[in-house]
Amino acid sequence: MIKLACDDCVYAFSKDNKPALRIKSGDIVEIQTMDCFAGQLISETDKLSEIDFDRINPITGPIYIEGAREGDTLKVTIEKIETGDRGVMCTGAGQGVLGDIMEGFSEKIVGLDGNYAFFSDKLKLLLNKMIGVIGVAPKDGEASSRAPGSHGGNMDNKMITEKAAVYFPVFTDGAFFALGDVHAAMGDGEVGGSGIEVPAQVTVKLEIVNNIKLVNPFVENENFISTVASALRIEDAVHTAVYDMDNLLKGKLTLCGYDRSMLLSAVGNVEICQVINSLKTVRFNVPKRIGGFLWVS
């Protein structure tokens, strides 16, 4: 198996970054990642107020996929997410939705064992391992690893987990794929400013597909198709995600616009991914099987 260590990391998606690895479409890669704090918080004596904030959200890569061209679609299948036995959380003044009721910062080391995180002596949480930052290079310039967008990035979408596939529009030759910011557990919204942040080993299959043309990413798992969009206002992100789903749907089902709107209203679900960045991210989920018809794959 091809492996990529977290020593090869950057803090922005860009085609100007030197590729850390070159692969062929269809290759499987094990990618090592640091946690979102780049290992700067390893005990509760380490303080959030003292870390280097320029080192937030390191992403491992980029990976150059031979043969990827602008206008293609990159399919990323998440084969496995492996984490260690501990994670870190933090919150405080100005952090997340409740940042206005707190003074200073608080850090917590969270033990992990099997399928659980031990939040306290009396509180055990079920893990839902997922990837917070994943994407490709934008067409021009760079996109911070702390921001979401059409390239993917910091979407904090908890559907991006084992056995899911994420599809990205390719904006530049090679795609320049990278990922990081893995969570052992995170709720929709990430309302406190962090999930349970962990270093990880993520195994992915990267392949170019040409039967789908995209403007924004979407996620596929066994049961759902989920379009993902980010905007300054939640309402605008919802608008984009629903329109993207409609574009996918009308290529598969012979329904008029009225019927598509009614169908999406009957079976679709708008869900929030994150609300803590300046750009908010939502997803719009539709069952893959509608009337027994598997309409995307």
Predicted confidence pLDDT, tens digits, the chain (297 residues)? 899 999 999 999 999 999 999 999 999 999 999 999 998 888 778 887 778 888 999 999 999 999 999 999 999 999 999 998 999 999 989 889 999 999 988 999 999 998 999 999 999 999 999 999 999 999 999 999 999 999 999 999 999 999 999 999 999 999 999 999 999 999 999 999 999 999 999 999 999 998 888 999 999 999 999 999 999 999 999 999 999 999 988 878 888 999 999 999 999 999 999 999 999 999 999 998 875 544 554
* Domains 2-209 and 218-289 alike in fold: no
What pLDDT is recorded for position 239?
A: 98
What pLDDT is recorded for position 46?
A: 80
Question: Of 149, 132, 131, which is closest to residue 140 (Cα–Cα)?
Answer: 149
What pLDDT is recorded for position 60?
A: 98
What pLDDT is recorded for position 151?
A: 98
What pLDDT is recorded for position 291?
A: 54
Query: What architecture does CATH give domain 2-209?
Result: Sandwich (2.60)
What is the total residue count of the chain? 297
Q: Are strands 196-198 and 177-185 parallel, antiparallel or unpaired?
A: antiparallel
Contact 30, 201 (CB under 8 A): yes
Query: Number of helices and strands (H, E) in the chain?
Result: 2, 25
- E strand or H helix at 73: strand 73-83
pTM to 2 decimals?
Answer: 0.95
For the chain, domain boundaries: 2-209, 218-289
Rounded Cα gap, residues 222 and 226, in angstroms: 11
CATH superfamily of 218-289: Acetamidase/Formamidase-like domains (3.10.28.20)
End-to-end CA distance of the chain: 27
